[in-house]
């Protein structure tokens, strides 16, 4: 066990934005919430799964909805606590800890607000190793863990709790409720024991986010090449560098969907990249040819600072470097690719591991 303090929180939020592959919500907002909670209630205890008893119950907490909406519609803090406590009340069992359901963006740090406020530990793991746009897209689903009981709460004080026949139906119903709540809500879901999570979860992802954030911060101080430093930290590959020429973005059915078009510079001059996203970056096409797809991670970095740019932050004229790096092996299984492979998102292309194209 170790403590998450304000300083550590800064690094986690920065690294989480890289793992978020453009989505997971703006980590800045979640960082502000968690930082205030740490100031009010003290540091957060971060446990590994091995430090918990087999039957300890862990319930993830997160934000659901379109990241574009959260820029203007802020959570109030009570919403995530209401969702978390609703699941505990429904189960009638004590909850030992919370965790991140995805390693990326806001959803890496929002559970820290809940943990600090309720004086409850957080576990160093998640259910994706990155961020994905839909509820069923977690490693829990691969291992047969139900998303329900599933609770959604909004800033007005409304709470909805549901039981469904499978995790895809949870996504369908929860997405409809989230739209009614203003296209953004806070949730608690996927209750599981520590023993189950040792098989199902992706371990060590909070520590991984912290390490990536530290790398970016050190590169600034030491005036190193920040993009190259980040690329090395994640074991990734440079895919493209250029200037954003156009962004076509829309909020649809609770998702931020669209494409960004990047005009190549330097070694990529004369080429054009199309980056498709649904909350998260899903696919890279260069001159019309698929080069990287989910479930591998795609990050867009500021060319000068190495800081990641979220899907809602993409703007005309930004000079960026696109990097890609391998996902957790769990997603490369047949069950994993059925859940989050390129064909699920409507791309008529087979998944090819990024290292086979760029390694």
Mean pLDDT for 326-345 is: 97
Mean of per-residue pLDDT scores for the chain? 93
Is pLDDT at 22 greater than 90 in this prediction? no
Give the architecture (CATH level 2) of 2-205.
3-Layer(aba) Sandwich (3.40)
Is pLDDT at 72 greater than 80 in this prediction? no
**CB distance 227 to 323 below 8 Å:** yes
- Entry pTM: 0.92
**Sorting pLDDT into bands at 50, 70 and 90, what band is 327?**
very high
Quick one: fold of 234-358?
CV3147-like (2.40.390)
Report d(CA 306, CA 320) in Å as an integer: 9
pLDDT digits (tens, 9 = 90+) for 92-136: 999 999 999 999 878 999 999 999 999 999 999 999 999 999 999
Is pLDDT at 71 greater than 70 in this prediction? no
Report d(CA 166, CA 144) in Å as an integer: 9
**CB distance 272 to 286 below 8 Å:** yes
Domain limits, the chain: 2-205, 234-358
Task: Return the pLDDT at 197.
Answer: 98
Task: Return the pLDDT at 68.
Answer: 66
Is pLDDT at 67 greater than 70 in this prediction? no
pLDDT digits (tens, 9 = 90+) for 79-95: 999 999 999 999 999 99
């Amino acid at each position: 066990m170790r403590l998450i303090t304000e300083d550590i929180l800064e690094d986690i939020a920065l690294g989480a934005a890289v793992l978020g592959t453009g989505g997971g919500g703006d980590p800045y907002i979640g960082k502000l919430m968690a930082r205030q909670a740490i100031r009010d209630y003290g540091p957060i205890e971060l446990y590994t799964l091995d430090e918990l008893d087999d039957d300890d119950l862990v319930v993830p907490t997160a934000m659901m909805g379109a990241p574009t909406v959260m820029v203007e519609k802020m959570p109030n803090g009570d919403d995530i606590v209401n969702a978390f406590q609703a699941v505990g009340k429904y189960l009638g069992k004590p909850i030992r800890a919370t965790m991140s359901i995805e390693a990326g963006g806001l959803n890496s740090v929002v559970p820290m607000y809940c943990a600090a406020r309720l004086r409850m530990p957080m576990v160093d793991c998640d259910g994706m190793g990155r961020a994905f746009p839909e509820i069923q897209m977690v490693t829990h689903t691969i291992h047969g863990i139900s998303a329900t009981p599933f609770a959604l709460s909004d800033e007005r004080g409304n709470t909805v709790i549901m039981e469904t026949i499978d995790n895809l139906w949870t996504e369908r119903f929860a997405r409809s409720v989230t739209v009614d709540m203003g296209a953004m809500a806070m949730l608690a879901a996927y209750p599981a024991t520590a023993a189950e999570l040792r098989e199902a979860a992706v371990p060590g992802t909070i520590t991984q986010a912290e390490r990536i954030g530290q790398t970016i911060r050190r590169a600034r101080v030491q005036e190193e090449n920040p993009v190259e430093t980040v690329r090395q930290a994640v074991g990734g590959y440079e895919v493209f560098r250029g200037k954003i020429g156009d962004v076509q973005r829309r909020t649809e059915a609770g998702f931020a969907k669209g494409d960004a078009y990047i005009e190549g510079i330097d070694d990529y001059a004369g080429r054009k990249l199309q980056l498709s996203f649904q909350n998260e970056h899903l696919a890279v096409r260069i001159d019309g040819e698929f080069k990287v797809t989910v479930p591998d991670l795609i990050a867009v970095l500021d060319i000068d600072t190495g800081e990641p740019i979220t899907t809602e932050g993409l703007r005309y004229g930004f000079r960026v470097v696109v990097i890609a790096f391998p996902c957790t092996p769990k997603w490369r299984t047949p069950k994993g690719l059925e859940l989050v492979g390129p064909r699920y998102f409507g791309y008529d292309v087979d998944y090819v591991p990024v290292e086979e194209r760029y390694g």
